[in-house]
Amino acid sequence: DTGVSQDPRHKITKRGQNVTFRCDPISEHNRLYWYRQTLGQGPEFLTYFQNEAQLEKSRLLSDRFSAERPKGSFSTLEIQRTEQGDSAMYLCASSFLTGDSYNEQFFGPGTRLTVL
């Protein structure tokens, strides 16, 4: 297994366009997380899935954002009608939930979005 992968690595789009990012987690990881990181800040939690169920969404996730994990494997994050404020690095992480609350998350390299 090569770890968490994300595609594309970079995306430049014009304001108002829709974009979709993909995350492939480590196989057999049952949890998948999306975070957003802006310059000079730490990652901020957006949403997470346990298997195919989306269990929590941050208030940061406006109704222009939607995420899916249809078969409990890869996930997509779509942003509709992008705004310049959406420019950020979008990070995906996966983990395997055990009985303990220890939850080591493995991060992908991120998708850098630039909205012009």
Partner 1 sequence: GEDVEQSLFLSVREGDSSVINCTYTDSSSTYLYWYKQEPGAGLQLLTYIFSNMDMKQDQRLTVLLNKKDKHLSLRIADTQTGDSAIYFCAESGSNTGKLIFGQGTTLQVKP
Site residues (CB under 8 A) for partner 1? 4, 31, 33, 35, 40-45, 48, 55-56, 91, 93, 95, 97, 101-110
Strand order in the sheet with 5-7: 5-7, 19-24, 75-79, 65-68
Which one, 20 or 105, has the nearer CB to partner 1?
A: 105
Residue 20 and residue 34: Cα distance in Å, rounded?
A: 13
Beta carbon nearer to partner 1, 40 or 85: 40
Instruction: Considering the complex, state which of residue 14 and residue 39 has its C-beta at the smaller distance from partner 1.
Output: 39
Nearer to partner 1, 56 or 78 (CB): 56
CB of 28 to partner 1, least distance (A): 16
Let me know: does 37 contact 89? Beta carbons within 8 Å. Answer: yes
Q: Which residues pair with 32 in a beta bridge?
A: 49, 94
> Which residue has 């492939």 as its token pair?
24
Query: What distance lies between CA 75 and its chain's CA centroid?
Result: 8
User: In angstroms, what is the minimal distance from the CB of 82 to partner 1?
Assistant: 23
Question: CB 79 → partner 1: shortest distance, Å?
Answer: 20
Minimum distance of partner 1 from residue 102's CB (angstroms): 6
28: helix, coil or strand?
coil
